[in-house]
Amino acid sequence: MLPEGLAWVGAGLAIGLAALGTGIGIGLLAGRAVEGVARQPEAAGQIQRVMILGIAFIEALCLYALLIAIMLVGKGKAAEHGAAGAGAGAAAAETSGH
């Protein structure tokens, strides 16, 4: 498999697994927060603040994966253009006789 193909596969895996993990993490966090509020309604404000802080940290991990995926896609595109440019230059050199 070509390096640019591996970059695209890596980008897809990075964002796919991060989105899956983020969804599971936020689901568990929200479920536990609802349980906490149901057991202790007077602590709802504090539980909500901690839940929102936790969600922010979980989402940050997914954003890091998105940035990595974007960088991998950029590397894949650069490799595609580099290979196409090198191939075109070699073909032009052969036809010109140099």
Q: Is the pLDDT of residue 88 over 90?
A: no
Q: Are 78 and 84 in contact (CB under 8 A)?
A: no
Q: How far is CA 56 from the centre of its chain?
A: 16
Looking up tokens 């075109």 gives 88
- Is the pLDDT higher at 39 or at 2? 39
Q: What is the pTM of this model?
A: 0.70
CATH class of the structural domain 3-93? mainly alpha
In three-state form (DSSP H/G/I as H, E/B as E, the rest C), the secondary structure along 2-50 is CHHHHHHHHHHHHHHHHHHHHHHHHHHHHHHHHHHHHHCHHHHHHHHHH
The pLDDT score that the predictor gives to residue 17 is 94
Distance CA 33, CA 71 (A): 35
Q: How far is CA 6 from the centre of its chain?
A: 15
**Domain boundaries defined on the chain:** 3-93
Q: Is the pLDDT of residue 21 over 60?
A: yes
pLDDT in tens, 39-84: 999 999 999 999 999 999 999 999 999 999 999 888 777 766 776 6
Distance CA 90, CA 93 (A): 5
The pLDDT score that the predictor gives to residue 41 is 95
Q: Is the pLDDT of residue 98 over 90?
A: no
Mean pLDDT of 1-20: 88
Looking up tokens 């536990």 gives 32
Mean pLDDT score of the chain: 84
